[in-house]
Structure 1
Amino acid sequence: MATTMNLGKSELMDTARRSMDTRVERGEWTTRQKIALTCRSLFDAGHDAGLAGQISARGESPGTFLTQRLGLGFDEITEDNLLLVDEDLTVLESGGNGPAMANPANRFHSWIYRARPDVNCIVHTHPLHAAALSMLEVPLQVSQMDTTPLYEDCAFLPDWPGVPVGNEEGEIISAALGDKRAILLAHHGQLVVGATVEEACSLGHLIERAAQLQLLAMSAGEIRPLPPKLAQEAHGWTLVPRRSEANFAYYARRALRRHPDAITPAP
């Protein structure tokens, strides 16, 4: 006999959130493994642009973060070849033999981490559709249910400040991001931030999907806006941490099927 058919939507949403906390399995990956799996899953999703783009996560010590080494593509990142760097991008741990350095463009990550204590992971890539949309100098439009985690949560930098290897670009990008989770960078690409690697990975996949949908819709007609109240409700619902964890677990499993070398097997 059904017992929930007369419940309101808010009550059903609360019940579902509580159920997710206990009934959706959590992955047991380290931060290094999560970064490597994020790199591999985003590579498979079309975020590959040669050596462009960086993914980072805060280190255990203040003012440090993990990121990939310059010279490796996203499809080559493993938990063992990640770098631990400080805010000056000085390599503290190289995870391998021989010289290594971070991408100089990682400098703006230092600025974002300083400005946003709530951010623990940054995903910056140049995927095809987000990069194409950035060429039009128009903001991202969120007008489809699946993309509502970005509703009123994606900033826009309309002016290209040049290659982001200076402190000026770090100041500009971090200021333009503000308190948002995402930003579209004109003539450049996309950047998303998350309280966790799982959240940032999920948003990285999502912003490219949103850009692709926008370009398709723009080619067919005028994009119609979502009802604000319902869009805000969807934004909150889709950003429940356990949903981000479940999304990431799916991306991780898929990446591991294609790239089992991303993480080191347990002894």
Structure 2
Amino acid sequence: MAKTLREKKGVLIDRAKRQMDDHLGSSELTTRQKLALTCRIAFDGGHDSGLAGQISARGSEPGTYYTQRLGLGFDEITEDNLLLVDEDLNVLEGEGMANPANRFHSWIYRAREDVNCIVHTHPLHTAALSMLEVPLVISQMDTTPLYDDCAFLKEWPGIPVGNEEGEIISAALGDKRAILLAHHGQLVTGATVEEACNLAVLIERAARLQLLAMAAGTVKPLPHELAREAHDWTSTDRRSRANFAYYARKALRNHPDCLTSAAEIR
């Protein structure tokens, strides 16, 4: 006999959260491994605009972060060829140089202590939407982690290699987890690598959905309270880890060279 069919929605949500805590495990991956996997996940998800874009994660020492080497595409990143740099982009570990555009990552990390990972890319649909100078509109359930959580920078400040661009972008981001950069691309942040990776996948899907919907008619808004509920429900750490684990397993099937040491992903 069923016992939950008359329970309130809030009760069922709390029950599901407890079950996720019990059943959704976490994999013992290093920051380097998570970052390398994120590069491959992003590549497979359409974030493949040549050498454009940077993915980074804080290092263990203050004022340091890992990022990819300039000259390598996302599909070439492994846990062993990542760089560790300081805020001035001096290389502390690894060979080669960081992308000079990583400078605005330093500004964001300084402004946001809650941010531990940044994914900035120029994927096709997000870049196309950015050309219209309109904000990202979240109007479909799957993309609600970005609801009321994506800022918009309408003015293009030029190539982001100067401190001015770092100030502008970090200020425009504010306390949001994501931002659409007009005539440029997207940037997402996360308290974890897993969270940032998931949002990067989602923002490109959201941009594609918006372009398709705009071509067919007028995008209708979501009810605010329900959208906020969905945002919070889909933004938990456990969900981020579970989603990332799925993307990571898929990426490793496509790119078995990504990790150079054994790792269990569950």
Same fold (TM > 0.5): yes
Give TM-score, length-normalised by structure 2: 0.98
Q: Secondary structure at the match of 2:81?
A: coil
Counterpart CA distance in 2 for 1:201 and 1:157 is 21
| 160, 167, 170: which one aligns with 1:164 | 160
> How far 1:4 sits from its partner (Å)?
1.2
| Structure 2 partner of 1:117 | 113
The count of corresponding residues between Structure 1 and Structure 2 is: 263
1:9 maps to which residue?
Answer: 9
Question: Which residue number corresponds to residue 238 of structure 2?
Answer: 242
C-alpha displacement of 1:223: 0.5
Matches within 5 A, 1:64-75: 64-75=64-75
Query: Shift of the alpha carbon at 1:62?
Result: 0.2
Question: After the TM superposition, which segments of 4 or more aligned residues of structure 1 sit over 3 Å from their partners?
Answer: none
Distance 2:143 2:190 in 1: 16
1:22-61 alignment to 2 at 5 Å?
22-61=22-61
Of 146, 150, 168, 1:154 maps to 150
Quote the offset at 1:32 in angstroms.
Answer: 0.4
Distance 2:147 2:44 in 1: 25
Q: Does 1:202 align with 2:198?
A: yes
Unaligned runs of 5+ in 2: none
Match of 1:224 in 2: 220
Displacement of 1:216: 0.2
**Alignment match, 1:84:** 84
Q: Secondary structure at the match of 2:65?
A: strand
What SS does the aligned partner of 2:45 have?
A: helix
1:3 and 1:200 mapped to 2: Cα distance? 38
Q: What's the CA shift for 1:26?
A: 1.7
The alignment partner of 1:156 has SS state of strand
Query: C-alpha displacement at 1:264, in angstroms?
Result: 1.0
Structure 1 residue 266 displacement after superposition: 3.2
RMSD between aligned residues: 0.9
Partner letter of residue 51 of structure 2? L
* Structure 1 counterpart SS, 2:220: coil
- Give ranges in structure 1 of 5+ residues lacking alignment: none
Deviation at 1:25, TM superposition (A): 2.4
1:183-240 superposed Cα distances (whole Å, 9 cap, x missing partner) = 0000000000000000000000000000000000000111000000100000000001
The CA distance in 1 between the partners of 2:244 and 2:38, in whole Å, is 8
In structure 1, distance between residues paired with 2:152 and 2:261:
41
1:44 deviates by: 0.6
Q: Provide the C-alpha distance between the structure 2 equivalents of 1:182 and 1:167, rounded to a whole number of angstroms.
A: 20
